[in-house]
Amino acid sequence: MRLGVLTSGGDCPGLNAVIRSIVHRAVTGHSDDVIGFHDGWKGLLECDYRKLDLDAVSGILARGGTILGSSRVRPEHLRDGVERTRGHVAELGLDAIPIGGEGTLKAARLMSDNGLPIVGVPKTIDNDIAVTDVTFGFDTAVGVATEALDRLKTTAESHQRVLIVEVMGRHTGWIALHSGMAAGAHAIVVPERPFDIAELTQRIGERFSAGKKFAIVVAAEGAKPREGTMEFDTGGTDVYGHERFAGIARQLSLELEERLGKEARPVILGHVQRGGTPTAYDRVLATRFGWHAVEAVHRGEFGQMTALLGTGIVMVPLAEAVETLKTVPQGRYAEAETVL
């Protein structure tokens, strides 16, 4: 058999582990050929690829990024390109295995609906894909954010400050919730649940009244105040129609400083959350996903995606995967107790 691999959308620790695992399983287990397309769907559209053998994936397991490069998906381009892609796939004799987050899986579904032999591997640090317990990259992002929060606690304490730490999460608060719980943040604000600035101020205020000298607020980048409770610049949308963000941490720190009369400072963790060596957890999950994706190809299970269910890897339809966003459920807020 001949397999094509591509990585698309935002960077995600574990991508190289998936690529390596696909190549290892395909070559060693099935004597397949594998090629890798460069820079995401673009490589498939333009037939730009290279051969991936065991040597090509040697030493990449622990490396961040993707050796294949990536690019953001513009669905309209893909729609126009379905025929072209179909041609390339036929010509190369391929079963393509895309890897991707929310946008990429939509593209994968589009391709699959048009009859292309696709097997998906979900990929997003945001952990917001509904049909899998977790996605690789998430654990690394949470780990990086938690380590930063651990560091920031001591500096906040020494300077008697409120620090508002902005972590990734445009539509869901998973990274904020987990890193906030892991680091013992004093408040967590998430997109799923617009916060009341008065409540937030009161919670932090009570902490200071009780004699504590600092506070840490973790804010997902997509968090926003309940309407009408605070002036807020949402930032609008960018040229792709994606939401832009005007900076929740910056805005919150100004507001809290004024309301509390305490020094407040924003910290924006940014791209460090999605780069660099993946955690052991993510390497294992990514490796398992890659292995099972190859098996699915060999069983002819197209239009499906690998998913973690409990401790096992299962295949689920791409159609299901893209239908709903996995938001943080109510019960998880209660456990954290610090989510407003």
Residues 189-248 that bind a second copy (CB under 8 A): 213
* Residue from 227, 114, 228, 223 nearest 175 by CA: 223
Angle, CA of 38, 326 and 337, to the nearest 5°: 125
Interface with a second copy includes 154 (CB under 8 A)? yes
User: Crossing angle for the helix pair 102-113 and 75-92, nearest 10 degrees?
Assistant: 60
Taking CB under 8 A as the criterion, the residue among 5, 26, 94, 152 binding a second copy is: 152
Nearest approach in angstroms of CB 62 to a second copy is 6
Q: How far is CA 98 from CA 115, 206, 302, 334, in A?
A: 15, 50, 11, 37
The residue from 11, 32, 95, 126 that is catalytic is 126
Site string for a second copy, 86-125 (x = CB under 8 A): ----------------------------------------
194 vs 247, beta carbon nearer a second copy? 247
**80 carries an active-site annotation:** no
- As given in the structure block, the two tokens for residue 33 are 């050929």
Cα 33 to Cα 25, 45, 96, 138, 220, distances in angstroms: 11, 20, 12, 30, 42
Q: Closest separation between CB of residue 55 and a second copy, Å?
A: 10
Stretch of 83-91, 198-206, 230-238, 329-337 lying at the interface with a second copy (CB under 8 A): 329-337
Q: From 43-51, 153-161, 218-226, 297-305, give the range in contact with a second copy by CB under 8 A.
A: 153-161
**Token couple for 137:** 């990259």
- Cα angle 315, 57, 50 (rounded to 5 degrees) comes to 90
Residues numbered 48 to 67 that lie near a second copy (CB under 8 A) are 61-66
What is the set of active-site residues?
A: 126
